[in-house]
Amino acid sequence: MQLAGKKIILGVCGSIAAYKSALIVRGLVKAGAQVKVLMTESATAFISPLTLSTLSRRPVTTSVHDGESWDNHVELGLWADALLVAPLTATTLAKMAHGICDNPVVAVYLSARCPVFFAPAMDLDMWAHPATRRNVARLRSYGNHLIDVAEGELASGLHGAGRLAEPETILAELERFFARAPADDKMALPQVPGKVEEQGEDPTSVVRPLAVAPTRNDYAGRRLLITAGPTHEDLDPVRYLGNKSTGRMGIALAEAAAARGASVDLVLGPTELSTTDPGINLVPVRSAREMHAVCVALWPKADAAILSAAVADYRPASMAQQKIKKEDKPLRIDLVRNPDIAAELGEDKKPHQRLVGFALETENALENARGKLERKNLDLIVLNSPNDEGAAFGHTTNKIQLLDRDTVTAFELKPKRAVADDILDALAGRF
């Protein structure tokens, strides 16, 4: 178990999802981790500090003045191997993003010299608000790790994105991080003057490592073209042909690539989701032909393209200028083929470029994916299926297989951000 012996601080904020913090603590302790819990004042209205103290087997901090001195939050920040804030409310998210230090979670966050993970939980409209999106992007720009929200029924009765990720998902993210992070990550980082360890030592001679969340820069200097979302093919002024893609997988790929140092062009079809990541050049499009034109223009400048968009294969031969009226007889719509973006980029691919496609299959999956890989001159293809529970469209998770010309690698169901890193890991080895 990668969490055995790890020192984990759990920050709990005032959300209805705070009850899940008990399950997180129990899971961490069961995995062999040492756990210390911080709570905002509002969090204590949702779950008792005594409950979390009992589960963690340690006192719970509920105020910045807890402990023997103000240095307590500094000591906690130095003690931890990771800081996890779950659930993270919109209020504390904003405070962390802007350094407003008025609760123990933010106080320890600002003092932490360890990787920081944050798992938001809030209502649908709060999560979608531009202020929230900017705050998330700001936290991630500092090198912190987002554990994305899940979709489902919310406390308001609405259904959509905003639920706290399940405890199993959160623990899996921590396990995955520690499995990949070198043991000496913190010691390899730059050093700054720190606190004197013992009385009498020369303050100028004692340093502690300045630890931030370890990030990989394996895509530094690379330019990636990523497509995401559906396309809409207009039938008349009010109707279109489309599909169920939300663009979440492609946005996760773009954000993960930017976090790893890439310069990203994200060509995004019509969807309610977006990104404010400063490392991403967002190009919104609507139709397959618009997406095709943008991709053809950007491809010569790219080191790689990841084509995760669900592009319509066909469009109406002509768009009606007025709304099509309902009649008693059957309606016939003539369709024509849209340009094949993957095939065209594959045909123009230069020796230094890499091309990754996606295949969404419901039958003969491996055979169809292999055929697409060969026909379109792809280096990798990502195979997923709506037949797998929690995979493909409309989910915050995905279950994929990665194919090249020689191998097939299967992955378990994971959050789409974790899937994005799996894809980027595979692509990085092919440059």
Catalytic residue numbers read 243
d(CA 59, CA 67): 10
3-class secondary structure, 146? strand
431 labeled binding residue: no
Structure-block tokens of residue 29: 């302790």
What does the radius of gyration of the chain's CA atoms come to, in whole angstroms? 24
What are the two backbone dihedrals, phi and then psi, of residue 406, each rounded to the nearest 5 degrees?
-120, -25
Burial of 347 (0-12, 13-18, 19+ CB in 10 A): exposed
372 labeled binding residue: yes
Structure-block tokens of residue 241: 């042909």
Amino acid at the residue 153? E
* Strands annotated E in 155-262: 159-163, 191-193, 207-209, 223-228, 233-234, 240-241
Give just the sign of the alpha carbon dihedral 248, 400, 391, 421: negative
Q: How many CB atoms lie within 10 A of CB 70?
A: 10
- CA-wise closest residue to 223 among 411, 324, 352: 352
Q: Which H or E run contains 305?
A: strand 304-307
d(CA 340, CA 224): 19
379 labeled binding residue: no
325 labeled binding residue: no
358 labeled binding residue: yes
User: Annotated binding site for CTP, which residues?
Assistant: 313, 323, 358, 372, 376
User: Annotated binding site, which residues?
Assistant: 313, 323, 358, 372, 376
